[in-house]
Amino acid sequence: MLALWAIPINFRIHRKPEQEKDPKVTLLDLAAAMVREVAKWFPDYQLTLMADGAYASLAKRKLPRTALYSRMRRNAALYTEAPPRQPGQRGRPRKKGTRLATLQHWAATLPKTSWQSAEVTIRGKRHTRLVSAHRVLWYETCPDQLVLMVFVSDPSGHQPDDFFFTTDLTATAVAVLEHYCGRWTIEETFRAVKQQLRAETPQSWAQFGPERTVMLALLTYGLVWLWYLLTQGDHPTFEKQPWYQRKHVPSFIDALATLRTTL
């Protein structure tokens, strides 16, 4: 079974507007700065950035060698590609083509041949989903280039339709869904850092104490996982319990317990 871990390697502190030296600095600005910094660290690599819908506007930040995978708003105004300029045409070139239908209406009217069935891992469990990919222009969020928009439907009808996109036009619909589902490991990292390493309840409140506590906890989390993966490899250090026979990969608690035993 494929296991994914999120290892923190870069951080930024976001303060409330009244506490920030420059109130104009937004979360998007901080995220873009981190991606550009990581791109400098790894100049020979193509980066894949998975972010939730709040960071979809990073698509127009022209991040170096970075393909963004994110969620698309349900009320997104989508267009076809702008038509080419005709000989002798007067006026400025068109920036967008024909307005497309709303996402819900478009998904409901797609023919069955446009859908592809895929098995994906969502929050640690395997699920069947139907996916369909289309190149569109999301002018409000990414006006300078097309994006690959992906419809995701639950054939059982339990989950509502969802909509994702990527700036990598060569990606497949299944790859877009799997990349975004892999973002869940970030949430697991936050939970472990808060609960197991107590970053949410620091005992220091003077000056930069809380900030340093959070940064130290994130670094400790990454170091524990790196030590565990390098020293333990494919040998599990946990025992399967009768009530949890489906467990195949270690949790952060297992890695932390193994390190404490070794020390």
The tens digit of pLDDT for each residue in 218-241 reads 999 999 999 998 888 777 777 777
**Among 154, 182, 210, residue at a domain's last position:** 182
Average the pLDDT over 151-178 and give the result: 89
Q: Would you place residue 22 in the very low, low, confident or very high pLDDT band (cuts 50, 70, 90)?
A: low
104 and 177 assigned to the same domain:
yes
In a domain, 3, yes or no: no
171 and 228 assigned to the same domain:
no
3-class SS letters over the chain = CCCCCCCCCCCCCCCCCCCCCCCCCCHHHHHHHHHHHHHHHCCCCCEEEECCHHHHHHHHCCCCCEEEEEECCCCCCCECCCCCCCCCCCCCCCCCCCECCCHHHHHHHCCHHHCEEEEEEECCEEEEEEEEEEEEECCCCCCCCCEEEEEEECCCCCCCCEEEEECCCCCCHHHHHHHHHCCHHHHHHHHHHHHCCCCCCCCCCCCCHHHHHHHHHHHHHHHHHHHHHHHHCCCCCCCCECCECCCCCCCHHHHHHHHHHHC
In a domain, 1, yes or no: no
Domain that holds residue 257: 188-262
Predicted local distance difference test score (pLDDT) of residue 1: 47
In a domain, 178, yes or no: yes
**Among 156, 182, 208, residue at a domain's last position:** 182
**Among 182, 213, 231, residue at a domain's last position:** 182
Predicted local distance difference test score (pLDDT) of residue 223: 94
Count how many domains the chain has.
Answer: 2
In a domain, 56, yes or no: yes
232 and 118 assigned to the same domain:
no
Predicted local distance difference test score (pLDDT) of residue 34: 94
201 and 152 assigned to the same domain:
no
In a domain, 225, yes or no: yes
Predicted local distance difference test score (pLDDT) of residue 19: 61
Question: What is the pLDDT of the chain when averaged over all its residues?
Answer: 86
Predicted local distance difference test score (pLDDT) of residue 98: 87
pTM confidence score: 0.84
- 30 vs 244, more confident: 30
Query: Tens digit of pLDDT for each residue in 142-163?
Result: 888 899 999 999 888 888 889 9
Q: Would you place residue 18 in the very low, low, confident or very high pLDDT band (cuts 50, 70, 90)?
A: low
The answer on pLDDT for 2 being more than 60 is no
Average the pLDDT over 14-21 and give the result: 68
The answer on pLDDT for 247 being more than 80 is no
The answer on pLDDT for 23 being more than 90 is no
